[in-house]
Every structure is written in structure tokens, then in C-alpha cells.
């Protein structure tokens, strides 16, 4: 299986599975499985880019929203929900000031710079208190904010809308996961 290096993430072929070595902690692995199961139980069908990282993606509005489970200590996890708005955008002082001001206006989540010229919108949830309702609310908000601002940023400051590019070219369908252990309510 050929491996490529892309932005610090190892890409692998479509037959790759996330094994225990991908996860830093058992809590991270359990949270990832619970999120995949909860999304499928809610009628949302996540996909997983063929990278050796615990990331799921959903199509939302005109964009792709990523859900990444990151370790937080040895017994907890963060659920990071994010989407690229624009790639290859010159990072001018005017753009950065705009993003800071908009951070004050959004309900939750923040605009951020993910790399040279990459503008993202992201939010985080604590894994142990994450419910499917909270997760879907965050996914919907990230998708809505991305869709609202990606064209504005690309037209005013330059760069290419990320929705017009494919960030992860190789996709693996998410297989059936165990039933989610968390509550369905808020």
C-alpha cells in the first residue's frame, strides 16, 4: 500500500482501517466509535477520508464538515468540528481583523487560520458530554457559517473556495459501528 505525505497527515489506500495505533487513548477510540454510530443512527452517513487520523466528514449545505476526535488527557476527548472556507488566501491585516470581528458575532465557534492562506471555521465539544443533538447543532452551525462566508472571503480577499476543491481525495465509507452509549437529548 503506497503512502503519501500530505500536510503532515499520512494518506493511505482505500482499504485502510482505523486500528488501535491511530488512537492515542482508549477514550478517544470509544468516542470516535460512538460518534460514528450516533450519526448513522440519526440518519446522517459520515464518510472517512483515507488518512490515518480519526476524522469523519459530512456533506452539509455546500461544504464538507469534518469531525475529528482528539485526545484530551488520558480519559477524555475533544470533538473538533471544522470546515475549510478558503484556501490560498493572502493573509492581509484587513482579512484577519474581519475574522476577529466576526468571531464576536457568531453564536459559537471561531474563524481560524489552519495553514498558509487556509481559513477555517471550527468549534469543539467535550467528548463525554457530547450528545447527538449537540453534535448535529454544531455540524449545522459550522456548515451554515462556512456557506455564508466562503464566497465573501474569496471574492474580497482572494483564494479559492474550499467547497470547489476536494480536501481529501480518497474516501472510505464508514462501516457500521456499535450503538451510541450516550443520551439522545440535550
Q: What is the pLDDT of residues 64-117, one digit of tens each?
A: 999 999 999 999 999 999 999 999 999 999 999 999 999 999 988 999 999 888
First to last CA, the chain: 43
Is pLDDT above 80 for 6? no
DSSP state at residue 45: -
pLDDT band at 3 (very low <50, low <70, confident <90, very high): very low
**Range name among 55-59, 77-81, 110-114, 123-127 with the lowest pLDDT average:** 55-59
Residues 6+ apart with CB under 8 A from 162: 63, 64, 83, 84, 85, 86, 87, 118, 146, 150
Residues 6+ apart with CB under 8 A from 185: 131, 133
pLDDT computed for residue 116 by the predictor = 85
Q: Are 78 and 69 in contact (CB under 8 A)?
A: yes
**Of residues 127, 109, 107, the one with CA closest to residue 181:** 127
**Range name among 30-34, 73-77, 147-151, 178-182 with the lowest pLDDT average:** 178-182
Amino acid at each position: 500500500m503506497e503512502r503519501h505525505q500530505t500536510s503532515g497527515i499520512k494518506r493511505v489506500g482505500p482499504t485502510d482501517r482505523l486500528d488501535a495505533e491511530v488512537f492515542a487513548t482508549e477514550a478517544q477510540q470509544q468516542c470516535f466509535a460512538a460518534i460514528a454510530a450516533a450519526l448513522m443512527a440519526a440518519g446522517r452517513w459520515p464518510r472517512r477520508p483515507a488518512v490515518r487520523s480519526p476524522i469523519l466528514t459530512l456533506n452539509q449545505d455546500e461544504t464538507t464538515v469534518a469531525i475529528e476526535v482528539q485526545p484530551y488527557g488520558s480519559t477524555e476527548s475533544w470533538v473538533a468540528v471544522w470546515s475549510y472556507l478558503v484556501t490560498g488566501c493572502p493573509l492581509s491585516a484587513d482579512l484577519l481583523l474581519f475574522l476577529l470581528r466576526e468571531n464576536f458575532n457568531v453564536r459559537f465557534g471561531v474563524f481560524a487560520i489552519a495553514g498558509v492562506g487556509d481559513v477555517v471555521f471550527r468549534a469543539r465539544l467535550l467528548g463525554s458530554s457530547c450528545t447527538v443533538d449537540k453534535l448535529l447543532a454544531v455540524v449545522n452551525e459550522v456548515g451554515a457559517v462556512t456557506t455564508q462566508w466562503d464566497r465573501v472571503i474569496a471574492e474580497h480577499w482572494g483564494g479559492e473556495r474550499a467547497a470547489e476543491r476536494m480536501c481529501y481525495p480518497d474516501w472510505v465509507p464508514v462501516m457500521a459501528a456499535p450503538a451510541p452509549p450516550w443520551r439522545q437529548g440535550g
